[in-house]
Chain A
Amino acid sequence: MKLFSITAVVAGLLASAAFAEPVAPSVVKYEDGVVMASLTGVAGDPVNGRDVFKNRKQGNCLACHVNAEMPEESFHGEVGPEMAGVADRWSVGELRGIVSNSKMMFEGTIMPAFYRDTGFDRPLEKFSGKTILTAQQVEDVVAYLRTLAE
């Protein structure tokens, strides 16, 4: 057990040495709601992105969006638009902007900002100063959304 965690730490260190630090939430550049540059410089993994999309403790995007690509999931919310064809409607930069902070694109939206860590009123202690998703999870979910073409 101990051995395993040490290996994990070492692997983590190697990974962060190999790649640049992710862009901090406060310095993400939005142009009309669009974020052109990758938050991590690492290509998004659509397979993990799919999991982030449905995971209740991560994106929980399925709470609000019907997603025809996940028929195996029983409950799809309908607060927001259906995800089918989202890749035809939005570019990578637009999707990155929408997921990172949708309020920059859709004023007054109910959709949470997944890559923002300040400006919240009364956040629960354990989430205070944190983003809902990590920079890489945002890239992963964006890569997954890009697969949803019709």
Chain B
Amino acid sequence: MMMTKTLLGAACLSVFALTVHAEEGAKLIIDGEELTIRANAPAHAENIDEVSSGWIYRSKETQALQLDDFDNPAFVFVDQAIDEWDKVDGSEGKACSSCHENVEDFAGLRPTLPRVDDGKLVSMENLVNECRTERMGAEPWKWSKGKMTSMTALIGVQSRGMPVNVAIDGDAAPFWDKGKELYYTRVGQLDMACSNCHEDNYDTMIRADHLSQGQINGFPTYRLKNAKLNSSHARFKGCMSNIRAEPYKEGGPEFQALELYLASRGQGLSVETPSVRN
């Protein structure tokens, strides 16, 4: 069902359903570097031909905020993480910088996460907290709270522009299978699966929202709605609550499996961290 509507003058009463399908030629160029916002879908995303970044589906104004790091409000938080990087915390008297010389050395990490380490599926949040609890003697940071999302944004941006490339075979296969099952399972009183909106109906308006594919290559994401960085798990939680479903726990096995599956559906898209959304 395709409709082409023109926005008529304000005098005309029938100004509704401003059908704003994604613009074909839009380019995401940051600091002279063009990011991949559309790519051929990987074979394991068998129901779609193309994968596309959520940036494509946002309004011109929101898109613009991501084009320049000085305009991108997420960088306020990235700067906070740069300060945190050198801050001593915990019983061992260490800072991140005591052991990791340059945060730039984490380039290449973001596109490969989550990954399986010793039979366990680990997200970037787990790796950071492992250093804090095991190596610094410090308290773990909460999954979606400011210190964590700022740090994962700082580490993530080192890989900006690199293609998402998570392993889904071998040890990862059972986690991936579980994530896929969750993606297609209907939940909540509205009885919908992630796929009903983000696979069957992307590039469609759902009331005031332009549906994207629900990709996670831009996380953590700065949202205008809450003026802070948001973890992917917090976003999953929000979508589940909207369909009146009891969300899984942030950092829990279900959301981690979903994170792996969604990352794999974005295979080939550039890491966009930290992206801007509404």
Contacts and interface: CB of A to CB of B under 8 A. Distances in A.
B254 to A, nearest CB: 10
B158 interface: no
A127 interface: yes
Classify the interface of chain A: helix, strand, loop or mixed: loop
A19 interface: no
A75 B241 CA distance: 21
A74 B10 CA distance: 12
A121 interface: yes
Given A110-B197, A121-B188, A122-B245, A79 B206 contact: yes
A71 B13 CA distance: 6
B192 A112 contact: yes
A123 to B, nearest CB: 5
A104 interface: no
Q: Is the interface of B mostly helix, strand, loop or mixed?
A: loop
B206 A76 contact: no
Nearest to A61: B207
Given A75-B205, A77-B206, A124 B246 contact: yes
Interface in A39-63: 56, 60, 62-63
A5 B240 CA distance: 35
Interface in B72-120: none
B249 to A, nearest CB: 12
B227 interface: no
A78 B185 contact: no
A78 B16 CA distance: 11
B244 A123 contact: yes
A12 interface: no
A78 B14 contact: no
A78 B1 contact: yes
A66 B16 contact: yes
B204 interface: yes
A124 B19 contact: no
A120 B14 contact: no
Interface string A106-121: 0000101100000011
A148 interface: no
Contacts of B244: 123-124, 127
A64 B14 CA distance: 17
Contacts of A125: 246
Given A76-B17, A78-B19, A81-B1, A123 B189 contact: yes
Interface string A63-75: 1101010111111
A132 B208 CA distance: 21
Nearest to B5: A66
A121 B16 contact: no
B29 interface: no
A71 B16 contact: yes
A146 interface: no
B71 interface: no
Nearest to B190: A112
A77 B3 CA distance: 12
Contacts of B206: 63-64, 77, 79
Contact of A120 (B17, B188, B200): B188
13 contacts: A63-B207, A73-B16, A77-B205, A77-B206, A78-B17, A78-B19, A110-B200, A110-B201, A112-B190, A120-B187, A123-B244, A124-B189, A125-B246
Closest 6 CB pairs of A and B: A76-B17, A75-B208, A63-B207, A127-B189, A71-B13, A110-B196
Interface of A: 56, 60, 62-64, 66, 68, 70-79, 81, 110, 112-113, 120-125, 127, 130, 132
Interface of B: 1, 3, 13-17, 19, 185-192, 196-197, 200-201, 204-208, 240-241, 244-246
